[in-house]
Amino acid sequence: MAQIKKSADTNVHQLNPTGSAIGDTMVKIAVLVKQVPDTNSKIQISGDRVDLSSVKMVMSPFDEFAVENALLHKEAAGGTVTAITVGGNSADKVLKDAKAIGVDEIVRLDCTEYMDSNAFQKVISEVISQDGYEVVYCGKSSADTGSGSTGPGVAEKLGWASVSNVTDIEFTDGLTVTAPVEGGDAIINVSTPVVVSCDKGSIKVRKPNVKGIMMAKRAQVEVKSVSPNTSSVTIVSQSMPAEKPAGKKFEGGQSAETVVQLLRNEANII
Amino acid sequence: MTETVIIAEMHKGKVSPTTNELVGAANLLGSNCTLIVPCTDSSVADEASNISGVTKVIAAKSSLFTNYDAAAWAQALDSVAPQGIVVTSASAQSKDLAARIAARRDISVVQDVISIDGNTLSTPIYSGKAIENVSINGDVVVSIRPNVFAGADNDGSCEVQVIDASGDLSTAVKELVERASTRLDVSEANIIISGGRGMGSPDNFSHLEVIADTLGAAVGASRAAVDTWAEIPHSMQVGQTGKTVNPNLYIAVGISGAIQHLAGMRSSKYIVAINKDADAPIFQYADYGIVSTWEEALPVLGNALSNMLS
């Protein structure tokens, strides 16, 4: 069925605060978002797999900063922001959450099977390349795997620059980003195309308003089918970490002296 | 046997002791281990040639290794590294590099590996609330969590080959801003002392800093502390939404042990908890628990440590 092309960018002119001629500076921005268990939730195992059936699913915390930075970029330079996720129907919620705070388009790459990092990055980078995005934002890592591979991996597959663990961004000609290095921070100039992996910085993530939530409810998720390559890394099992044996517990502040002795004589670490 | 290729972990321009752990891990994955040392001055690679279990050291020499540029480093290291299983550290920068090298070679990456059993690798998921065991088939890039694997000894010797490496820089460092304090970041430290909301006010973190300076430790914080007090920056936050750490010693002060904090520090080798609430969940993970207010315990702790270390 042919999709009706919405006039998605009718608002873009009002959103450009500089009032410059944005016809030639329209940036096509993508933001990668992922649905993960709420970080306050307890993870349980059933059989040899994690059981997420009774866990609340939310947008991965660092992805929230990626969405915010993508929106700030659009507001500074003019353009469109598309939120992209990978998953089944149930992942639509994370896209609607992004829509509610202001992204223009929402796209789900329809796939529920496991993909290793190489297969996953290939699927993402193909869409980024086919649809002509110039800047990609993502969280520095997702709260489930914690691997942080997607941003740099997708950038490499596209032949783009990447900057990771970014805490601040200035939207200049290109981007000026702040990222931690040994002993401090580096302020780095980078030109597009680029993948920016975001950490929590000084920015505040905007909250949806009623209008945004209503719009998100009605918004259509564009579903794209993908055909991933075979994975060379496969999951064998998932399990709980080994429980630590019970430690020693002391009453009263004076016992700190005993603990220091134990750290030296029993633990041998100081 | 499988070839392994290690990217040495560097610290202040020198080969970091973590590299010995990478060699230890690589020897579990295969044999014929080539160690690549990214450097601007190839002489720093010489000291790596005595790590036992290394077959050959390649000093990848280039001015681009002055500052980290993900694309250029991946390009340069890929060009000098032979095929095989590539092993890096799981520090923030090296994980980033690992992902780029894997993508460049059209292979997968397994990050933050904590155990190796043949072709089966284990990694923490949900910040360590669970463990995932994966099986690898063919070449992959593997990043190794520091402080977990036994390090190889320094009683070997092998050839050092110097290769001029090159890559196309895609970023330009405009400015390096040194941290105001000389204290280590939580991601770099072997000892961390963290405060929670139980510290009462951000000013009281100065009591943690005194002990941190005695120990050469970093000062961390719980999410509750970071969210409550603007003076405590997110860069100090330990936990699932901050930094996951596994130092030799983690001292939690006034931290009750929210699930997302525990996820970020529970794999520390030794955990000391100071909390006035005897039922605080943190005590279940503590090797040594002290039920006390921090006001009472910290001066005693501080004195005992400085007496011992002076």
What gap in Å lies between CA A151 and CA B97, rounded to an integer? 11
Q: In what order do the strands lie in the sheet with A184-190?
A: A168-170, A175-181, A184-190, B171-178
CB pairs under 8 A between A and B: 300
Instruction: Express each pLDDT in A93-151 by its tens digit.
Output: 999 999 999 999 999 999 999 999 999 999 999 999 999 999 999 999 999 999 999 99
Residues facing B162 on adjacent strands: B59
At residue A260, what are phi and psi to the nearest 5 degrees? -60, -40
Shortest Cα–Cα distance, B2 to chain A (Å): 16
Sorted by where each begins, the domain ranges of chain A are 25-225
Rounded-to-integer distance, Cα A32 and Cα B5, Å:
31
* B128, B137, B178 ranked by CB distance to A183: nearest: B178
CB A167 within 8 A of CB A184: no
B100: left (phi over 0), alpha (psi -120 to 50) or beta: alpha
- List chain B residues with pLDDT less than 50: none
Supply the pLDDT for residue B169. Answer: 93
Residues B64 and A267: their CA atoms lie apart, in Å, by: 42
A241:B260 CB<8 A: no
Architecture in CATH for domain B3-164: 3-Layer(aba) Sandwich (3.40)
Contacts of A116 (CB under 8 A, 6+ apart): A231, A232, A233, A234, B108
Chain centroid, CA A201 distance in Å: 14
CATH code of the domain made up of B191-309: 3.40.50.1220
What pLDDT does residue A17 have?
Answer: 42
pLDDT tens digit string along B238-268? 999 999 999 999 999 999 999 999 999 999 9
Q: Residue B123 burial by CB count (10 A; 0-12/13-18/19+): exposed, middle or buried?
A: buried
Return the pLDDT at A107: 98
- The confidence band for A202, taking pLDDT boundaries of 50, 70 and 90, is confident
Burial class (CB in 10 A: 0-12, 13-18, 19+), B141: buried
Instruction: Give the span between the Cα atoms of A151 and A34, in whole angstroms.
Output: 13
Q: Where are the domains of chain B?
A: 3-164, 191-309
ipTM for this model: 0.93
From B304's Cα to the closest Cα of chain A, the distance in A is 6
Residue B153 has what DSSP assignment? P
Across the interface, whether the CB atoms of A249 and B96 are under 8 A apart is answered no
Task: Report how far residue B162's alpha carbon sits from residue B158's, in angstroms, rounded to the nearest whole number.
Answer: 13
Chain B environment of A183 (Cβ under 8 Å): 178-179
**Greatest C-alpha distance within chain A:** 75
How many angstroms separate the CA of residue A9 from the nearest CA in chain B?
31
The DSSP element (H or E) to which A136 belongs, if any, is strand A135-139
Instruction: Name the average pLDDT for chain A.
Output: 91
Q: For residue A155, list chain B residues with Cβ-Cβ distance below 8 A.
A: 70-71, 100, 103
Question: What is the mean predicted confidence (pLDDT) over A61-88?
Answer: 97
CA distances from A103 to A58, A95, B42, B277 (A): 17, 9, 49, 45
What would the mean pLDDT of A15-42 be, rounded to a whole number? Answer: 75
pLDDT score, position B1: 64
**All residues at 6 or more sequence positions from A47 whose CB lies less than 8 Å from its CB, including other chains:** none
Q: Does the pLDDT at position A23 exceed 70?
A: no
For A72-103, letters b (16+ CB in 10 Å) and e give bbbbbbbbbbbbbbbbeeebbbbbbbbbbbbb
d(CA B139, CA B2): 9
In angstroms, the CA A111 to CA A120 distance is 10
Compute the average pLDDT of residues A146-174: 96
Q: How far is the C-alpha of A119 from the C-alpha of A152, rounded, in Å?
A: 14
What does the alpha-carbon distance between residue B305 and residue B210 come to, in Å, rounded to a whole number?
Answer: 11
Q: Is the pLDDT of residue A34 over 70?
A: yes
- For B188, the token pair is 């770099």
Predicted confidence at residue A5, as pLDDT, reads 40
Which DSSP category does B2 fall into?
A: -
Nearest to A168 by CA among A252, A69, A32: A69
Q: B126 vs A263: CB contact, 8 Å cut-off? A: no
CA B166 to each of CA B31, B64, B77, B264: distance values in angstroms, whole numbers, following the listed order: 27, 7, 8, 37
Nearest to B29 by CA among B5, B50, B48: B5
The yes/no answer on whether domain A25-225 falls in CATH 3.40.50.620 is yes
